[in-house]
Amino acid sequence: MRRSVNSQLMRTLRTDVKRCMKLLPGLFVTSLLFLFVFGIIIHYYTSILFQSDSFQKIDTAVYIPDDSQYNQLGFSMVSGMGSFEDSVNLIPVESPKQGYEMLEKKEVTVFLIVPEQFISGILSGENHPVRIVLRNEKTFETYVMNDLLQSVSSFLGCAQAAVYTAYDICMNHQLPAQTTLAFQNRIDTGNLAYVLSREEMFTEEPFDMLHAISLTKQLTVSSLLLILFMSCFVLTAFYKGNNHAYYLRQKNCGISKPAIILTNSAAGFVALYIVYLLLFTALCLVGMKPSLLSLVTMIPVIFLISLIIRLLSELSYSPHIANLMIFLTVLLLTYLAGGLMPIQFLPKFLQNTVSWNPMAWLIRFSQTVIF
């Protein structure tokens, strides 16, 4: 009897797969349609997020008194620093009044007033502070400027401390003038140059080396999962296609409803896997380079999708209601998982729900296996 139940189960699976194969044209059309729509969305979405002129240099007025050539030298050094060059547009002004006027007219975001004898003050240890005037508003630019100046100040402070420490050591040990000069050269040309050089402070590593994923790839994975979920709009007709008599007949053959749900899900998985092959090919064609291993590692994800949709179909009265439920549930969970836009853009209280969101885990796992 066990054997006959098993053979009935296999026949049910075979029939279910056959039914799903009849839905393949519809599945292909649906998935291609969604692929087209999501492709356009991702293209424009990422180009908006990463457009070349979305970040502008921060216009900063600088007043440097003419009293000291050291100040001019310092200005040249700072404006030549990599970190300043990339982020700040330094505009020299002739008087503090001119700087304030520019600030008021919103021509600049920040106004720096360098005191008289600034550089010589550093060397003598008197430390005349630079005055930083910001417009009375908290913008992204003012935060960047604040952090940037704080970093530079810290770097210069460290360099200053090193210079004084070296001189103190030389003086206390009464070292010969030549040795002291050698120390001075090493500090000036070596250590200070190191501090002021951005290129030596930071090394850039490719994302792949850190197993990190770009926003485009993250959106691609989310879209891919959404396409697989939405393709199930076609499958719900199959999932809800059995009447009461069918279940009764299967029950008399020893096949329980959970077993039917599993065979349905397995057949749905076969159809969805073929759709995944199509999507995989599309990713290869657009140069996204998905991992070949994902053809195996995505199997549990695709089966899970099929099973979830089958269970959602079971809960709903008709295929239309099932589709509506799938659409709303999946879209909402994907949004809350940061699949439609970076999590950082969501309100804080929604960001806290990410660790409880199963879709977030599904997206994270898929990201790891696909890229």
Partner 1 sequence: MLEVKNISVRYKKKIVLKDVSFSADFGQCIGLLGINGSGKSTLLSTISGALKPESGELFLNKISASENRKDYRKEIGYVTQENPLIPELTALDNLRLWTSLSGKELGRCLSEPPLSMLNVASFLKTPVSKLSGGMKKRLSIASVLLGNPKVLLLDEPFAALDLIAKHDILDYIQYYVRSGGIAVIASHEETIFDYCHKVYLLNQGSLTDTSLLPENTSYIDLLRSTLCEEA
Residues that bind partner 1 (CB under 8 A): 1, 4-5, 7-8, 11-12, 15, 18-19, 22, 241-246, 248-249, 251-254
**How far apart are CB 232 and partner 1 at their closest, in Å?**
17
Q: Identify which of 109, 121, 143, 141 has the alpha carbon closest to the alpha carbon of residue 74.
A: 121
User: What six digits make up the tokens of 367?
Assistant: 């990201």
Nearer to partner 1, 7 or 139 (CB): 7
Q: What is the DSSP string of 133-171?
A: EE-SS--HHHHHHHHHHHHHHHHHHHHHHHHHHHHHHHH
- Burial of 180 by CB count in 10 Å (0-12 exposed, 13-18 middle, 19+ buried)? middle
**How far apart are CB 295 and partner 1 at their closest, in Å?**
29
Asked if residues 131 and 115 have their Cβ atoms less than 8 Å apart, the reply is: yes
Nearer to partner 1, 253 or 333 (CB): 253
All residues at 6 or more sequence positions from 139 whose CB lies less than 8 Å from its CB, including other chains: 109
**How far apart are CB 250 and partner 1 at their closest, in Å?**
8
**How far apart are CB 254 and partner 1 at their closest, in Å?**
6
Q: Residue holding tokens 């008599």?
A: 245
**How far apart are CB 234 and partner 1 at their closest, in Å?**
12
Nearer to partner 1, 22 or 289 (CB): 22
**How far apart are CB 245 and partner 1 at their closest, in Å?**
4
Nearer to partner 1, 5 or 333 (CB): 5
Backbone angles phi, psi at 130, to 5 degrees: -80, 135
**How far apart are CB 305 and partner 1 at their closest, in Å?**
22
Nearer to partner 1, 4 or 353 (CB): 4
- Per DSSP bridges, beta strands 110-113 and 88-93 are unpaired
Nearer to partner 1, 235 or 283 (CB): 235
Nearer to partner 1, 243 or 355 (CB): 243
**What letter does residue 52 receive in the DSSP assignment?**
T
How crowded is the C-beta side of 162, counted as CA atoms within 13 Å?
Answer: 18
Nearer to partner 1, 54 or 243 (CB): 243
Residues 216, 219, 221: CA angle, nearest 5 degrees: 110
**How far apart are CB 316 and partner 1 at their closest, in Å?**
20
- Burial of 144 by CB count in 10 Å (0-12 exposed, 13-18 middle, 19+ buried)? middle
